Amino acid sequence: MRAPYVHEAYRAATTGLQAGAAAVVLLWLLELFGATFTSPWGTFACASTLGALVALKARARRLPAAGRGVLVTGCDSGFGLALARRLQELGCVVFAGCLQAANGDGAVELRRLPRVHVLQLDVTDDKQVEEARIFVEENLPVNGLWGVVNNAGIFVCSPIEWALPKDVQRLFDVNALGPLRVSKAFLPLLRQTRGRLVNVTSVSGRAVSGPGMGVYGMSKFAAEALTDYLRVEQRRFGVHVAVIEPGNFAAATSIVQAEALRAALVAGWGSLSDAARAAYGADGPDAVLKAFMDLLAAPTTHSLNVSPVVAAIEDALLSCWPAPRYVPADLEFTLLAWISTHCPEWLFEKIFV
């Protein structure tokens, strides 16, 4: 799993190349008016290097975390639990939304920490979202609500043709409409501080990423669109909106449960016609589940360490120069995300699908 500094170096290099290209264009325009300069390649190299160094210095700057309120959904386990711990260590006041706030293991652990408020928060429940908003508003720290992290999510493994409508509806209710509900409720508070909104999606929200990922990918594509439009709409108010696209961290979180996945696959298989089942083959559910679990277990694509994701969210919340998009993933998934948006579909699908 790549270290956070690789992402910073990539952004700095990109900024440097943009600065170099801009310098060459400016040089060409000035030469139209009779000015003479040295080689354009030298200008490009100097401007690129300077731009990259300035970008690296700017990237290193962090806002003070102490006294800033941050709401995080999905803190029962995985990314949310680790992020709540980290933000508390930095001095933030954390509002940790949990699905099992009464006696869940994550909630019990977080209650022991200073500056952490554990909230009952099912992101599909309008009443709970509103109650969370009221609690946060009544318990704001001195620096107000600085950040909201939409992290809560669920997973369903199913080829699209097999998917049961109720499973797809539940998936969208949590993964796409959940962030929408929470964002609508808390944006007024974020505008007061010109704060940060961070949505955790997936590499599967940008690229076809594996067997049985279709309906999950649909919900994450929707969350990506939500994030991109919110970024544009909220820019005028000074609210920065970022998306986090993790790679394969299933082994480090509780989002994938093999028995539950198989039960859903078998139910979807049972909804197919005889002709459809014959087309897929008699071992349909087991074949899909095996291919999916093999992908998750591949040593080149999975990680037991969630720190790259936590570091990316921390950067999105506290960097003086946050990125609009972060891809905390291994090299394979990073290339998958990049190539999917830069190559022809036929080439991408030939290589990765």
Cβ(79)–Cβ(249) below 8 Å: yes
Q: Phi-psi bin for 115: left (phi > 0), alpha (psi -120 to 50), beta?
A: left
3-state secondary structure 208-249: CCCCCCHHHHHHHHHHHHHHHHHHHHHHHHCCEEEEECCCEC
120 SS3 class:
strand
Cβ burial of 117 (10 Å; 0-12, 13-18, 19+) is middle
**Annotated catalytic, 216?**
yes
C-alpha distances in Å from residue 119, one per residue of 1, 130, 156, 258, 350: 32, 12, 26, 29, 46
Residues 6 or more apart whose CB falls under 8 angstroms from that of 104 comprise 76, 98
- In angstroms, the CA 100 to CA 122 distance is 9
Q: Which two structure tokens, joined as six digits, stand for 213?
A: 């990922």
- Selecting among 216, 229, 280, 326, the annotated active-site residue is 216
DSSP state of 302: B
Cβ(61)–Cβ(322) below 8 Å: no
Q: How big is the CA angle at 129 (ends 102 and 154), to the nearest 5 degrees? A: 75
Could you give the residue numbers annotated as active site?
Answer: 216
